[in-house]
A and B are shown apart, each in its own frame.
Chain A
Protein backbone atom coordinates (compact mmCIF):
# COMPACT_ATOMS: atom_id res chain seq x y z
CA UNK A 1 0.00 0.00 0.00
CA UNK A 2 1.65 3.20 -1.14
CA UNK A 3 1.84 6.27 1.10
CA UNK A 4 1.64 9.93 0.40
CA UNK A 5 4.72 11.52 1.93
CA UNK A 6 6.07 15.01 1.33
CA UNK A 7 3.50 15.47 -1.39
CA UNK A 8 4.85 12.45 -3.18
CA UNK A 9 3.02 9.24 -4.07
CA UNK A 10 5.02 6.34 -5.47
CA UNK A 11 3.52 3.24 -7.02
CA UNK A 12 5.60 0.18 -7.69
CA UNK A 13 4.40 -1.79 -10.72
CA UNK A 14 5.91 -5.09 -11.73
CA UNK A 15 6.01 -6.86 -15.08
CA UNK A 16 5.95 -10.58 -14.26
CA UNK A 17 5.93 -13.66 -16.49
CA UNK A 18 7.85 -16.63 -17.86
CA UNK A 19 11.34 -16.29 -19.31
CA UNK A 20 11.58 -14.37 -22.59
CA UNK A 21 7.89 -13.54 -22.77
CA UNK A 22 8.73 -9.88 -23.48
CA UNK A 23 8.69 -8.08 -20.13
CA UNK A 24 11.76 -5.94 -20.82
CA UNK A 25 10.51 -5.25 -24.35
CA UNK A 26 7.26 -3.96 -22.86
CA UNK A 27 9.20 -1.52 -20.71
CA UNK A 28 11.41 -0.39 -23.59
CA UNK A 29 8.35 0.32 -25.73
CA UNK A 30 6.67 2.16 -22.87
CA UNK A 31 9.76 4.31 -22.56
CA UNK A 32 9.42 5.19 -26.24
CA UNK A 33 5.62 5.48 -26.36
CA UNK A 34 4.77 7.34 -23.20
CA UNK A 35 5.16 11.05 -22.79
CA UNK A 36 4.37 11.88 -19.20
CA UNK A 37 5.57 15.10 -17.67
CA UNK A 38 8.45 13.27 -16.01
CA UNK A 39 10.18 10.32 -17.62
CA UNK A 40 13.46 8.85 -16.49
CA UNK A 41 15.93 6.74 -18.31
CA UNK A 42 15.38 3.04 -18.39
CA UNK A 43 17.80 1.38 -16.06
CA UNK A 44 18.79 -2.14 -16.97
CA UNK A 45 20.72 -3.60 -14.12
CA UNK A 46 22.38 -6.62 -15.57
CA UNK A 47 21.71 -9.06 -18.37
CA UNK A 48 23.08 -12.28 -19.64
CA UNK A 49 22.71 -12.27 -23.38
CA UNK A 50 19.26 -10.72 -23.70
CA UNK A 51 17.98 -12.22 -20.45
CA UNK A 52 17.33 -10.09 -17.41
CA UNK A 53 19.33 -11.23 -14.39
CA UNK A 54 18.20 -8.67 -11.82
CA UNK A 55 15.55 -6.27 -13.06
CA UNK A 56 14.83 -3.32 -15.32
CA UNK A 57 13.52 -0.09 -13.93
CA UNK A 58 11.60 2.65 -15.71
CA UNK A 59 10.65 5.71 -13.62
CA UNK A 60 7.71 7.89 -14.70
CA UNK A 61 5.77 10.66 -13.06
CA UNK A 62 3.58 13.72 -13.24
CA UNK A 63 2.50 16.45 -10.93
CA UNK A 64 -1.21 16.69 -10.21
CA UNK A 65 -2.96 20.04 -10.06
CA UNK A 66 -2.92 19.82 -6.26
CA UNK A 67 0.88 19.73 -6.35
CA UNK A 68 1.00 15.99 -5.59
CA UNK A 69 3.86 14.31 -7.39
CA UNK A 70 2.67 10.91 -8.65
CA UNK A 71 5.63 8.64 -9.31
CA UNK A 72 5.59 5.26 -11.00
CA UNK A 73 8.45 2.83 -10.85
CA UNK A 74 8.05 0.03 -13.37
CA UNK A 75 10.09 -3.08 -12.71
CA UNK A 76 10.57 -6.32 -14.60
CA UNK A 77 11.45 -9.58 -12.88
CA UNK A 78 13.89 -12.15 -14.25
CA UNK A 79 11.69 -14.86 -15.79
CA UNK A 80 14.06 -17.78 -15.54
CA UNK A 81 12.93 -20.36 -13.05
CA UNK A 82 16.28 -20.36 -11.24
CA UNK A 83 16.01 -16.71 -10.21
CA UNK A 84 13.04 -17.17 -7.93
CA UNK A 85 14.67 -15.43 -4.97
CA UNK A 86 15.29 -12.33 -7.09
CA UNK A 87 11.82 -12.53 -8.58
CA UNK A 88 10.27 -12.66 -5.15
CA UNK A 89 12.35 -9.71 -3.91
CA UNK A 90 11.36 -7.61 -6.93
CA UNK A 91 7.70 -8.52 -6.46
CA UNK A 92 7.78 -7.37 -2.82
CA UNK A 93 5.78 -4.23 -2.14
CA UNK A 94 4.26 -4.26 -5.66
CA UNK A 95 1.14 -2.17 -6.07
CA UNK A 96 0.20 -3.68 -9.41
CA UNK A 97 1.31 -6.41 -11.77
CA UNK A 98 1.24 -7.06 -15.50
CA UNK A 99 1.56 -10.74 -16.22
CA UNK A 100 3.19 -11.04 -19.63
CA UNK A 101 2.34 -14.45 -21.10
CA UNK A 102 3.87 -15.93 -24.24
CA UNK A 103 1.09 -16.67 -26.75
CA UNK A 104 2.90 -19.54 -28.42
CA UNK A 105 1.25 -22.90 -27.99
CA UNK A 106 4.54 -24.40 -26.86
CA UNK A 107 4.68 -21.98 -23.95
CA UNK A 108 1.36 -22.81 -22.31
CA UNK A 109 2.91 -24.87 -19.54
CA UNK A 110 5.53 -22.20 -18.85
CA UNK A 111 2.78 -19.58 -18.66
CA UNK A 112 0.79 -21.67 -16.23
CA UNK A 113 3.78 -22.39 -14.04
CA UNK A 114 4.88 -18.78 -14.00
CA UNK A 115 1.37 -17.63 -13.10
CA UNK A 116 1.23 -20.15 -10.30
CA UNK A 117 4.64 -18.90 -9.18
CA UNK A 118 3.28 -15.34 -9.20
CA UNK A 119 0.38 -16.33 -6.96
CA UNK A 120 2.69 -18.23 -4.60
CA UNK A 121 5.27 -15.47 -4.41
CA UNK A 122 2.58 -12.86 -3.89
CA UNK A 123 1.42 -14.83 -0.89
CA UNK A 124 4.98 -15.22 0.36
CA UNK A 125 5.73 -11.50 0.22
CA UNK A 126 2.41 -10.68 1.85
CA UNK A 127 0.41 -9.41 -1.11
CA UNK A 128 -3.33 -10.04 -1.24
CA UNK A 129 -3.38 -11.70 -4.65
CA UNK A 130 -7.16 -11.50 -4.97
CA UNK A 131 -7.08 -7.73 -4.56
CA UNK A 132 -3.80 -7.08 -6.36
CA UNK A 133 -4.34 -4.94 -9.49
CA UNK A 134 -3.40 -7.36 -12.26
CA UNK A 135 -3.54 -7.30 -16.04
CA UNK A 136 -2.79 -10.37 -18.12
CA UNK A 137 -1.12 -9.63 -21.43
CA UNK A 138 -0.79 -12.27 -24.12
CA UNK A 139 2.28 -11.16 -26.04
CA UNK A 140 3.84 -12.22 -29.34
CA UNK A 141 0.55 -12.20 -31.26
CA UNK A 142 2.65 -11.79 -34.42
CA UNK A 143 4.08 -15.30 -34.17
CA UNK A 144 2.54 -18.21 -36.15
CA UNK A 145 1.71 -21.07 -33.75
CA UNK A 146 -0.18 -19.19 -31.08
CA UNK A 147 -3.21 -19.88 -28.94
CA UNK A 148 -6.21 -18.10 -30.44
CA UNK A 149 -7.78 -15.11 -28.70
CA UNK A 150 -11.04 -16.99 -28.20
CA UNK A 151 -9.24 -19.82 -26.58
CA UNK A 152 -7.29 -17.48 -24.32
CA UNK A 153 -10.48 -15.68 -23.30
CA UNK A 154 -12.29 -18.97 -22.66
CA UNK A 155 -9.45 -20.17 -20.52
CA UNK A 156 -9.03 -17.02 -18.49
CA UNK A 157 -12.69 -16.31 -17.83
CA UNK A 158 -12.43 -17.86 -14.39
CA UNK A 159 -13.77 -16.74 -11.05
CA UNK A 160 -11.49 -13.71 -11.00
CA UNK A 161 -11.64 -11.96 -14.31
CA UNK A 162 -8.49 -10.00 -14.78
CA UNK A 163 -8.32 -7.64 -17.75
CA UNK A 164 -6.89 -9.51 -20.74
CA UNK A 165 -4.86 -7.75 -23.40
CA UNK A 166 -3.12 -8.93 -26.54
CA UNK A 167 0.14 -7.43 -27.66
CA UNK A 168 3.10 -7.48 -29.99
CA UNK A 169 5.65 -5.86 -27.77
CA UNK A 170 8.30 -5.86 -30.50
CA UNK A 171 6.21 -3.46 -32.58
CA UNK A 172 4.67 -1.81 -29.55
CA UNK A 173 1.14 -2.85 -30.37
CA UNK A 174 -0.97 -3.43 -27.25
CA UNK A 175 1.79 -2.34 -24.90
CA UNK A 176 0.20 1.00 -24.11
CA UNK A 177 -3.25 -0.55 -23.84
CA UNK A 178 -1.94 -3.03 -21.31
CA UNK A 179 -0.35 -0.25 -19.29
CA UNK A 180 -3.55 1.78 -19.54
CA UNK A 181 -5.55 -1.14 -18.14
CA UNK A 182 -3.10 -1.55 -15.27
CA UNK A 183 -3.20 2.19 -14.43
CA UNK A 184 -6.99 2.03 -14.20
CA UNK A 185 -6.86 -1.09 -12.02
CA UNK A 186 -4.31 0.57 -9.74
CA UNK A 187 -6.35 3.75 -9.52
CA UNK A 188 -9.54 1.85 -8.65
CA UNK A 189 -7.73 -0.16 -6.03
CA UNK A 190 -6.08 2.72 -4.20
CA UNK A 191 -7.90 5.95 -5.08
CA UNK A 192 -10.32 5.79 -2.18
CA UNK A 193 -7.77 4.87 0.45
CA UNK A 194 -5.44 7.65 -0.74
CA UNK A 195 -8.32 10.11 -1.21
CA UNK A 196 -6.93 10.97 -4.64
CA UNK A 197 -10.14 12.47 -5.92
CA UNK A 198 -11.29 14.28 -2.77
CA UNK A 199 -7.98 15.73 -1.65
CA UNK A 200 -6.04 15.98 -4.88
CA UNK A 201 -8.74 16.40 -7.48
CA UNK A 202 -7.33 13.46 -9.34
CA UNK A 203 -9.89 11.27 -11.11
CA UNK A 204 -9.22 8.11 -13.10
CA UNK A 205 -9.03 9.89 -16.45
CA UNK A 206 -6.61 12.51 -15.15
CA UNK A 207 -4.51 9.84 -13.45
CA UNK A 208 -4.23 7.78 -16.63
CA UNK A 209 -3.72 10.79 -18.83
CA UNK A 210 -1.01 12.15 -16.57
CA UNK A 211 0.96 8.95 -16.82
CA UNK A 212 0.39 8.16 -20.48
CA UNK A 213 1.09 11.75 -21.38
CA UNK A 214 0.92 13.30 -24.83
CA UNK A 215 -2.24 12.55 -26.74
CA UNK A 216 -3.45 10.48 -23.89
CA UNK A 217 -7.12 10.47 -24.85
CA UNK A 218 -7.89 6.76 -24.95
Chain B
Protein backbone atom coordinates (compact mmCIF):
# COMPACT_ATOMS: atom_id res chain seq x y z
CA UNK B 1 0.00 0.00 0.00
CA UNK B 2 1.72 3.17 -1.13
CA UNK B 3 1.62 6.00 1.31
CA UNK B 4 1.31 3.68 4.31
CA UNK B 5 3.59 4.87 7.08
CA UNK B 6 5.06 1.40 7.56
CA UNK B 7 6.07 0.75 3.97
CA UNK B 8 9.74 0.11 3.35
CA UNK B 9 11.37 3.11 1.78
CA UNK B 10 13.76 3.16 -1.15
CA UNK B 11 16.72 5.51 -1.12
CA UNK B 12 15.18 7.63 -3.88
CA UNK B 13 12.04 8.01 -1.81
CA UNK B 14 13.91 9.20 1.26
CA UNK B 15 16.27 11.46 -0.60
CA UNK B 16 14.67 13.26 -3.54
CA UNK B 17 17.04 14.28 -6.32
CA UNK B 18 17.51 17.89 -5.20
CA UNK B 19 18.35 16.86 -1.66
CA UNK B 20 20.67 14.14 -2.91
CA UNK B 21 22.46 16.68 -5.12
CA UNK B 22 23.11 19.02 -2.19
CA UNK B 23 24.12 16.24 0.15
CA UNK B 24 26.27 14.39 -2.42
CA UNK B 25 28.13 17.53 -3.40
CA UNK B 26 28.83 18.36 0.25
CA UNK B 27 30.04 14.80 0.98
CA UNK B 28 32.26 14.77 -2.15
CA UNK B 29 33.79 18.05 -1.07
CA UNK B 30 34.43 16.69 2.42
CA UNK B 31 35.96 13.51 0.98
CA UNK B 32 37.91 15.60 -1.51
CA UNK B 33 37.27 12.82 -4.06
CA UNK B 34 34.77 11.71 -6.69
CA UNK B 35 31.74 10.16 -5.11
CA UNK B 36 28.72 8.20 -6.29
CA UNK B 37 25.57 7.33 -4.37
CA UNK B 38 24.14 3.96 -5.40
CA UNK B 39 20.73 2.52 -4.51
CA UNK B 40 20.16 -0.91 -2.94
CA UNK B 41 20.32 -2.53 -6.38
CA UNK B 42 23.72 -0.92 -7.12
CA UNK B 43 22.42 1.63 -9.66
CA UNK B 44 23.96 5.09 -9.52
CA UNK B 45 21.51 7.67 -8.22
CA UNK B 46 23.94 10.53 -8.12
CA UNK B 47 27.60 11.31 -8.89
CA UNK B 48 30.46 9.56 -10.59
CA UNK B 49 32.32 6.55 -9.34
CA UNK B 50 35.87 6.12 -10.52
CA UNK B 51 36.93 2.67 -11.68
CA UNK B 52 39.04 2.00 -8.57
CA UNK B 53 36.25 3.04 -6.17
CA UNK B 54 35.46 1.03 -3.06
CA UNK B 55 31.92 0.71 -1.73
CA UNK B 56 30.54 1.40 1.72
CA UNK B 57 26.99 0.27 2.52
CA UNK B 58 24.61 2.24 4.65
CA UNK B 59 21.85 0.39 6.49
CA UNK B 60 18.63 1.98 7.59
CA UNK B 61 17.00 -0.96 9.35
CA UNK B 62 18.68 -4.30 8.72
CA UNK B 63 19.43 -4.21 5.03
CA UNK B 64 21.64 -1.91 2.96
CA UNK B 65 19.55 0.93 1.64
CA UNK B 66 22.35 1.92 -0.69
CA UNK B 67 26.09 2.40 -1.11
CA UNK B 68 28.66 5.15 -1.32
CA UNK B 69 31.31 4.55 -3.93
CA UNK B 70 34.54 6.53 -3.91
CA UNK B 71 38.27 6.17 -4.15
CA UNK B 72 38.62 8.09 -0.90
CA UNK B 73 40.24 6.35 2.07
CA UNK B 74 38.01 3.62 3.67
CA UNK B 75 37.92 5.49 7.01
CA UNK B 76 36.73 8.65 5.37
CA UNK B 77 34.24 6.79 3.23
CA UNK B 78 32.87 5.01 6.33
CA UNK B 79 32.53 8.34 8.10
CA UNK B 80 30.69 9.73 5.10
CA UNK B 81 28.36 6.70 5.15
CA UNK B 82 27.67 7.22 8.90
CA UNK B 83 26.87 10.85 8.24
CA UNK B 84 24.60 10.03 5.34
CA UNK B 85 22.83 7.35 7.36
CA UNK B 86 22.06 9.79 10.14
CA UNK B 87 20.52 12.07 7.56
CA UNK B 88 18.50 9.16 6.20
CA UNK B 89 17.29 8.07 9.62
CA UNK B 90 16.13 11.59 10.34
CA UNK B 91 14.41 11.79 6.96
CA UNK B 92 12.82 8.35 7.36
CA UNK B 93 11.51 9.24 10.79
CA UNK B 94 10.08 12.41 9.38
CA UNK B 95 8.42 10.61 6.46
CA UNK B 96 7.01 7.87 8.70
CA UNK B 97 5.66 10.45 11.12
CA UNK B 98 4.04 12.37 8.27
CA UNK B 99 2.46 9.29 6.77
CA UNK B 100 1.35 7.97 10.13
CA UNK B 101 -0.12 11.32 10.95
CA UNK B 102 -2.04 11.23 7.67
CA UNK B 103 -3.22 7.69 8.43
CA UNK B 104 -4.22 8.66 11.95
CA UNK B 105 -6.08 11.73 10.73
CA UNK B 106 -7.86 9.57 8.18
CA UNK B 107 -8.71 7.06 10.88
CA UNK B 108 -9.96 9.80 13.20
CA UNK B 109 -11.93 11.28 10.32
CA UNK B 110 -13.42 7.89 9.57
CA UNK B 111 -14.32 7.51 13.24
CA UNK B 112 -15.93 10.95 13.14
CA UNK B 113 -17.90 10.00 10.05
CA UNK B 114 -19.07 6.82 11.72
CA UNK B 115 -20.09 8.73 14.80
CA UNK B 116 -21.78 11.28 12.61
CA UNK B 117 -23.70 8.57 10.82
CA UNK B 118 -24.67 7.04 14.13
CA UNK B 119 -25.84 10.45 15.31
CA UNK B 120 -27.73 11.04 12.08
CA UNK B 121 -29.37 7.64 12.45
CA UNK B 122 -30.20 8.42 16.05
CA UNK B 123 -31.56 11.79 15.03
CA UNK B 124 -33.70 10.12 12.41
CA UNK B 125 -34.98 7.73 15.05
CA UNK B 126 -35.84 10.59 17.36
CA UNK B 127 -37.50 12.44 14.51
CA UNK B 128 -39.59 9.39 13.71
CA UNK B 129 -40.41 9.02 17.38
CA UNK B 130 -41.33 12.67 17.60
CA UNK B 131 -43.60 12.35 14.60
CA UNK B 132 -45.17 9.29 16.09
CA UNK B 133 -45.71 11.11 19.38
CA UNK B 134 -47.16 14.06 17.52
CA UNK B 135 -49.54 11.70 15.78
CA UNK B 136 -50.47 10.13 19.09
CA UNK B 137 -51.10 13.53 20.62
CA UNK B 138 -53.32 14.42 17.70
CA UNK B 139 -55.20 11.15 18.09
CA UNK B 140 -55.64 11.84 21.79
CA UNK B 141 -56.81 15.36 21.10
CA UNK B 142 -59.29 14.03 18.58
CA UNK B 143 -60.50 11.50 21.11
CA UNK B 144 -60.80 14.17 23.79
CA UNK B 145 -62.70 16.40 21.39
CA UNK B 146 -65.05 13.58 20.69
CA UNK B 147 -65.50 12.83 24.39
CA UNK B 148 -66.14 16.50 25.09
CA UNK B 149 -68.77 16.54 22.40
CA UNK B 150 -70.33 13.45 23.91
CA UNK B 151 -70.25 15.06 27.36
CA UNK B 152 -71.78 18.16 25.94
CA UNK B 153 -74.44 16.13 24.24
CA UNK B 154 -75.17 14.29 27.47
CA UNK B 155 -75.42 17.51 29.42
CA UNK B 156 -77.59 19.01 26.75
CA UNK B 157 -79.93 16.07 27.01
CA UNK B 158 -79.95 16.48 30.78
CA UNK B 159 -80.84 20.15 30.56
CA UNK B 160 -83.39 19.43 27.92
CA UNK B 161 -84.87 16.98 30.41
CA UNK B 162 -84.92 19.61 33.14
CA UNK B 163 -86.32 22.10 30.76
CA UNK B 164 -89.01 19.65 29.70
CA UNK B 165 -89.92 19.04 33.34
CA UNK B 166 -90.14 22.78 33.96
CA UNK B 167 -92.13 23.33 30.83
CA UNK B 168 -94.50 20.50 31.63
CA UNK B 169 -95.11 21.98 35.06
CA UNK B 170 -95.61 25.45 33.64
CA UNK B 171 -97.96 24.36 30.92
CA UNK B 172 -99.87 21.85 33.02
CA UNK B 173 -101.06 24.49 35.42
CA UNK B 174 -102.77 26.83 32.92
CA UNK B 175 -103.99 23.90 30.89
CA UNK B 176 -105.61 22.53 34.08
CA UNK B 177 -107.55 25.62 34.82
CA UNK B 178 -108.35 26.35 31.18
CA UNK B 179 -109.81 22.87 30.92
CA UNK B 180 -111.78 23.33 34.13
CA UNK B 181 -113.01 26.71 32.87
CA UNK B 182 -114.14 25.24 29.58
CA UNK B 183 -115.96 22.45 31.47
CA UNK B 184 -117.72 25.12 33.56
CA UNK B 185 -118.50 27.08 30.43
CA UNK B 186 -120.06 23.94 28.97
CA UNK B 187 -122.35 23.80 32.05
CA UNK B 188 -123.31 27.44 31.45
CA UNK B 189 -124.23 26.65 27.87
CA UNK B 190 -126.51 23.86 29.18
CA UNK B 191 -128.27 26.45 31.34
CA UNK B 192 -128.93 28.58 28.25
CA UNK B 193 -130.25 25.44 26.52
CA UNK B 194 -132.64 24.89 29.46
CA UNK B 195 -133.79 28.54 29.19
CA UNK B 196 -135.03 27.87 25.68
CA UNK B 197 -137.68 25.44 27.06
CA UNK B 198 -138.73 27.86 29.82
CA UNK B 199 -138.86 31.06 27.78
CA UNK B 200 -142.62 31.29 28.56
CA UNK B 201 -141.84 31.67 32.21
CA UNK B 202 -140.02 34.85 31.37
CA UNK B 203 -137.99 36.63 33.98
CA UNK B 204 -138.73 33.93 36.56
CA UNK B 205 -136.89 31.31 34.56
CA UNK B 206 -133.89 33.68 34.04
CA UNK B 207 -133.68 34.21 37.75
CA UNK B 208 -134.29 30.55 38.54
CA UNK B 209 -131.41 29.54 36.30
CA UNK B 210 -129.21 32.24 37.87
CA UNK B 211 -128.19 33.42 34.44
CA UNK B 212 -126.92 36.78 35.69
CA UNK B 213 -124.19 34.91 37.51
CA UNK B 214 -123.62 32.65 34.51
CA UNK B 215 -123.00 35.65 32.26
CA UNK B 216 -120.76 37.35 34.81
CA UNK B 217 -118.79 34.21 35.64
CA UNK B 218 -118.69 33.14 31.98
CA UNK B 219 -116.95 36.40 31.06
CA UNK B 220 -114.50 35.85 33.94
CA UNK B 221 -113.85 32.28 32.82
CA UNK B 222 -113.20 33.33 29.24
CA UNK B 223 -110.83 36.07 30.41
CA UNK B 224 -108.94 33.65 32.70
CA UNK B 225 -108.74 31.04 29.98
CA UNK B 226 -107.39 33.53 27.47
CA UNK B 227 -104.77 34.56 30.02
CA UNK B 228 -103.87 30.89 30.56
CA UNK B 229 -103.54 30.29 26.85
CA UNK B 230 -101.41 33.44 26.54
CA UNK B 231 -99.16 32.09 29.28
CA UNK B 232 -98.68 28.85 27.40
CA UNK B 233 -97.95 30.84 24.28
CA UNK B 234 -95.28 32.85 26.18
CA UNK B 235 -93.66 29.73 27.51
CA UNK B 236 -93.48 28.35 24.02
CA UNK B 237 -91.96 31.59 22.77
CA UNK B 238 -89.34 31.51 25.53
CA UNK B 239 -88.48 27.98 24.53
CA UNK B 240 -87.61 29.15 21.06
CA UNK B 241 -84.53 30.82 22.49
CA UNK B 242 -83.24 27.41 23.34
CA UNK B 243 -84.29 25.74 20.18
CA UNK B 244 -81.32 27.15 18.27
CA UNK B 245 -78.84 25.16 20.38
CA UNK B 246 -78.36 22.94 17.40
CA UNK B 247 -77.60 25.82 15.10
CA UNK B 248 -74.07 26.67 16.10
CA UNK B 249 -73.92 29.77 13.96
CA UNK B 250 -72.33 32.89 15.25
CA UNK B 251 -74.67 35.80 15.72
CA UNK B 252 -74.12 39.29 16.98
CA UNK B 253 -76.42 39.64 19.95
CA UNK B 254 -77.16 41.64 23.06
CA UNK B 255 -76.53 39.12 25.79
CA UNK B 256 -78.96 40.92 28.10
CA UNK B 257 -81.72 39.52 25.83
CA UNK B 258 -80.27 36.04 26.24
CA UNK B 259 -80.09 36.48 30.03
CA UNK B 260 -83.68 37.65 30.07
CA UNK B 261 -84.74 34.60 28.09
CA UNK B 262 -82.91 32.26 30.45
CA UNK B 263 -84.39 33.96 33.52
CA UNK B 264 -87.89 33.79 32.10
CA UNK B 265 -87.65 30.01 32.02
CA UNK B 266 -87.53 30.10 35.83
CA UNK B 267 -90.36 32.55 36.36
CA UNK B 268 -93.28 30.66 37.79
CA UNK B 269 -91.23 27.66 38.88
CA UNK B 270 -88.92 29.17 41.47
CA UNK B 271 -88.94 27.33 44.77
CA UNK B 272 -90.70 29.24 47.54
CA UNK B 273 -88.56 31.95 49.12
CA UNK B 274 -86.18 32.28 46.20
CA UNK B 275 -86.14 35.59 44.43
CA UNK B 276 -84.58 36.07 41.02
CA UNK B 277 -83.26 39.59 40.39
CA UNK B 278 -81.68 41.16 37.41
CA UNK B 279 -79.05 43.91 37.47
CA UNK B 280 -78.19 44.59 33.86
CA UNK B 281 -76.06 47.37 32.44
CA UNK B 282 -76.29 48.18 28.75
CA UNK B 283 -73.98 45.79 26.88
CA UNK B 284 -72.22 46.06 23.56
CA UNK B 285 -73.44 43.48 21.10
CA UNK B 286 -70.89 40.71 20.70
CA UNK B 287 -70.48 37.86 18.26
CA UNK B 288 -71.23 34.56 19.96
CA UNK B 289 -73.19 31.33 19.80
CA UNK B 290 -76.33 32.46 21.65
CA UNK B 291 -77.85 28.99 21.80
CA UNK B 292 -74.78 27.65 23.59
CA UNK B 293 -74.53 30.62 25.95
CA UNK B 294 -78.23 30.26 26.82
CA UNK B 295 -77.34 26.76 27.99
CA UNK B 296 -74.64 28.21 30.21
CA UNK B 297 -76.90 30.90 31.69
CA UNK B 298 -79.71 28.46 32.25
CA UNK B 299 -77.41 26.12 34.02
CA UNK B 300 -75.78 28.78 36.22
CA UNK B 301 -79.16 30.16 37.27
CA UNK B 302 -80.47 26.68 37.93
CA UNK B 303 -77.46 25.95 40.14
CA UNK B 304 -77.81 29.24 42.00
CA UNK B 305 -81.52 28.74 42.60
CA UNK B 306 -80.84 25.25 43.88
CA UNK B 307 -78.07 26.56 46.17
CA UNK B 308 -80.47 29.06 47.73
CA UNK B 309 -83.22 26.48 48.05
CA UNK B 310 -80.77 24.17 49.79
CA UNK B 311 -80.41 26.66 52.64
CA UNK B 312 -84.09 26.27 53.46
CA UNK B 313 -84.26 30.02 53.97
CA UNK B 314 -85.39 32.87 51.72
CA UNK B 315 -82.67 34.24 49.48
CA UNK B 316 -81.90 35.84 46.19
CA UNK B 317 -80.22 35.01 42.92
CA UNK B 318 -78.93 38.08 41.14
CA UNK B 319 -77.98 37.98 37.48
CA UNK B 320 -75.85 40.98 36.61
CA UNK B 321 -74.10 42.11 33.49
CA UNK B 322 -71.71 44.93 32.70
CA UNK B 323 -69.25 45.91 30.02
CA UNK B 324 -65.66 45.14 31.01
CA UNK B 325 -62.30 45.90 29.50
CA UNK B 326 -62.16 44.05 26.18
CA UNK B 327 -65.51 42.35 26.61
CA UNK B 328 -68.44 41.64 28.82
CA UNK B 329 -68.71 40.41 32.38
CA UNK B 330 -71.72 38.44 33.51
CA UNK B 331 -72.15 37.30 37.10
CA UNK B 332 -74.66 35.04 38.79
CA UNK B 333 -74.62 35.69 42.53
CA UNK B 334 -76.60 33.71 45.04
CA UNK B 335 -77.09 33.77 48.79
CA UNK B 336 -77.05 29.99 48.84
CA UNK B 337 -75.05 27.36 50.67
CA UNK B 338 -71.72 28.33 49.05
CA UNK B 339 -68.81 26.06 48.18
CA UNK B 340 -65.72 25.00 50.09
CA UNK B 341 -62.37 25.56 48.44
CA UNK B 342 -62.12 21.80 47.85
CA UNK B 343 -65.46 21.86 46.08
CA UNK B 344 -64.39 24.87 44.04
CA UNK B 345 -61.22 23.12 43.01
CA UNK B 346 -63.20 20.23 41.63
CA UNK B 347 -66.23 22.12 40.42
CA UNK B 348 -65.24 21.99 36.78
CA UNK B 349 -64.36 18.30 36.82
CA UNK B 350 -66.64 16.18 34.71
CA UNK B 351 -69.19 14.19 36.75
CA UNK B 352 -68.27 15.97 39.96
CA UNK B 353 -71.48 16.74 41.79
CA UNK B 354 -72.55 17.42 45.37
CA UNK B 355 -76.13 16.60 44.57
CA UNK B 356 -77.78 13.26 45.35
CA UNK B 357 -77.32 10.61 42.71
CA UNK B 358 -79.88 10.99 39.96
CA UNK B 359 -80.57 14.67 40.38
CA UNK B 360 -77.65 16.02 38.34
CA UNK B 361 -75.17 14.68 35.85
CA UNK B 362 -72.25 16.68 37.29
CA UNK B 363 -71.54 17.93 33.81
CA UNK B 364 -73.08 21.37 33.99
CA UNK B 365 -70.07 23.45 34.98
CA UNK B 366 -67.78 21.32 32.83
CA UNK B 367 -69.83 22.00 29.77
CA UNK B 368 -70.29 25.64 30.78
CA UNK B 369 -66.56 26.11 30.97
CA UNK B 370 -66.10 24.32 27.64
CA UNK B 371 -68.56 26.69 25.99
CA UNK B 372 -67.04 29.79 27.61
CA UNK B 373 -63.56 28.71 26.58
CA UNK B 374 -64.78 28.09 23.07
CA UNK B 375 -65.67 31.80 23.11
CA UNK B 376 -62.11 32.59 24.32
CA UNK B 377 -63.67 33.59 27.60
CA UNK B 378 -63.04 32.76 31.27
CA UNK B 379 -65.19 31.41 34.04
CA UNK B 380 -64.39 31.70 37.74
CA UNK B 381 -65.94 30.87 41.08
CA UNK B 382 -65.83 33.04 44.18
CA UNK B 383 -67.47 31.46 47.18
CA UNK B 384 -67.34 30.84 50.90
CA UNK B 385 -69.23 27.99 52.52
CA UNK B 386 -72.43 29.37 54.04
CA UNK B 387 -72.24 32.76 52.39
CA UNK B 388 -73.25 32.17 48.82
CA UNK B 389 -71.35 32.07 45.59
CA UNK B 390 -70.64 34.23 42.59
CA UNK B 391 -69.85 32.70 39.24
CA UNK B 392 -68.30 35.24 36.92
CA UNK B 393 -68.02 34.90 33.17
CA UNK B 394 -65.87 37.04 30.98
CA UNK B 395 -66.60 37.01 27.27
CA UNK B 396 -64.41 38.95 24.87
CA UNK B 397 -66.09 41.43 22.56
Contact = CB atoms under 8 A, between A and B. Distances in A.
B107 A40 contact: no
Contacts of B310: none
Interface in B302-343: none
B17 interface: no
A90 B61 contact: no
Interface in A1-60: 10, 12, 38-40, 43, 45-46, 54-55, 57, 59-60
A170 interface: no
B100 A89 contact: yes
Nearest to A38: B62
Given A43-B89, A75-B6, A85-B107, A90 B100 contact: yes
Given A10-B8, A45-B97, A54-B97, A89 B104 contact: yes
Nearest to A73: B6
Contacts of B104: 83, 85-86, 88-89
A73 B62 CA distance: 10
Contact of A86 (B61, B62, B100): B100
Given A75-B6, A84-B111, A92-B4, A45 B96 contact: yes
B169 to A, nearest CB: 86
B108 A85 contact: yes
Interface size class of A (residues with CB under 8 A): 20 to 34
Contacts of B108: 84-85
Nearest to A58: B61
A69 interface: yes
A12 B107 contact: no
Contacts of A124: 107, 110
Contacts of B269: none
Given A45-B93, A85-B111, A71 B62 contact: yes
A39 B62 contact: yes
Contact of B107 (A10, A39, A57, A88): A88
Contacts of A89: 5, 100, 103-104, 106-107
B93 A59 contact: no
Interface in B163-204: none
Nearest to A10: B8
B105 A85 contact: yes
Nearest to B109: A85
Nearest to B8: A10
B59 interface: yes
Interface size class of B (residues with CB under 8 A): 20 to 34
A93 interface: yes
A61 interface: yes
B84 to A, nearest CB: 15
Contacts of A88: 103-104, 107
A18 B8 CA distance: 28
A93 B100 contact: no
B19 interface: no
Contact of B6 (A39, A40, A83, A93): A93
Interface in B1-16: 1, 4-6, 8
B62 A46 contact: no
A10 B89 CA distance: 20
A61 B4 contact: no
A92 B99 CA distance: 13
Contacts of A38: 62-63
B95 to A, nearest CB: 11
A46 B90 CA distance: 12
Interface string A78-104: 000001111011101100000000000
A93 B7 CA distance: 10
Nearest to A12: B6
Contacts of A75: 6
Interface string A119-156: 00000100000000000000000000000000000000
A18 to B, nearest CB: 18
Contacts of B61: 40, 59, 71, 73
B97 A46 contact: yes
A90 B93 CA distance: 14
Contacts of A45: 93, 96-97, 100
Nearest to B92: A43
Interface of A: 10, 12, 38-40, 43, 45-46, 54-55, 57, 59-61, 69, 71, 73, 75, 83-86, 88-90, 92-93, 124
29 contacts: A10-B8, A38-B62, A38-B63, A40-B61, A43-B93, A45-B97, A54-B97, A55-B100, A59-B62, A61-B63, A69-B63, A71-B61, A71-B62, A71-B63, A73-B61, A84-B111, A85-B105, A85-B108, A85-B111, A86-B104, A86-B107, A88-B103, A89-B100, A89-B104, A89-B106, A89-B107, A92-B4, A93-B4, A93-B6
Question: Nearest 9 CB-CB pairs, A to B?
Answer: A89-B103, A85-B108, A85-B104, A59-B61, A38-B62, A85-B107, A86-B104, A40-B61, A88-B107
